[in-house]
Chains A and B, each alone.
Chain A
Amino acid sequence: QQQVKQSPQSLIVQKGGISIINCAYENTAFDYFPWYQQFPGKGPALLIAIRPDVSEKKEGRFTISFNKSAKQFSLHIMDSQPGDSATYFCAASITGNQFYFGTGTSLTVIP
């Protein structure tokens, strides 16, 4: 059973556009929701994370929107750049425990 469901599987965006990736979860005990970015041949690296007590967190061009009642969260990449082309994973965890990852979204930003 997939603890975290992620969509879309792949995404193609024009340079300067907005990339949006969505995730949904069921376990209301989750209290930490990170997004990881992975480039080919590399391990995933933390991009941005949020806790359920806030509805939005912004770091530069990257924003997490969190809807606790709907049990959904999303990553928005503003002014998408070719260098943002990577695979993005959402995840959820209960502090002190394991992470559950989504299935990943392959983002391609076309120049």
Chain B
Amino acid sequence: DAGITQSPRYKITETGRQVTLMCHQTWSHSYMFWYRQDLGHGLRLIYYSAAADITDKGEVPDGYVVSRSKTENFPLTLESATRSQTSVYFCASRSGVGTEAFFGQGTRLTVV
């Protein structure tokens, strides 16, 4: 199916563990983004990528790592999860010249 998909949809992990959230898009969009959504903060940008092998920090990058070896995939890794990283994470993509960003369904991550 065409679109943008995130996995897993739900994840519970323990403090200090490494966890990776996956994002895959089928449109070959140049831009991909990771946001976290928290009550009272809206959507805050963690990292974004303008193309394969090009990534850049957003507003709240600390504690996160990204990579983009292929255009269609943009995984987000929490190297050592903390309770403050409990959130809903959204991946989004946008074409190089387009304006609309398309969002995935989100991953609800709970760090205990």
Chain A interfacial positions (CB closer than 8 Å to B): 6, 9, 32, 34, 36, 41-46, 49, 89, 93, 95-96, 98-104
Contact = CB atoms under 8 A, between A and B. Distances in A.
A104 B44 CA distance: 11
B74 interface: no
B99 A98 contact: no
B40 A103 contact: yes
B102 to A, nearest CB: 8
B78 to A, nearest CB: 20
Interface residues of B, number: 21
Contacts of A34: 99-101
Interface string B35-50: 1000011111100100
B45 A44 contact: no
Given A36-B103, A41-B106, 5 more contacts: A43-B92, A46-B100, A89-B42, A98-B33, A102-B42
A32 B103 CA distance: 18
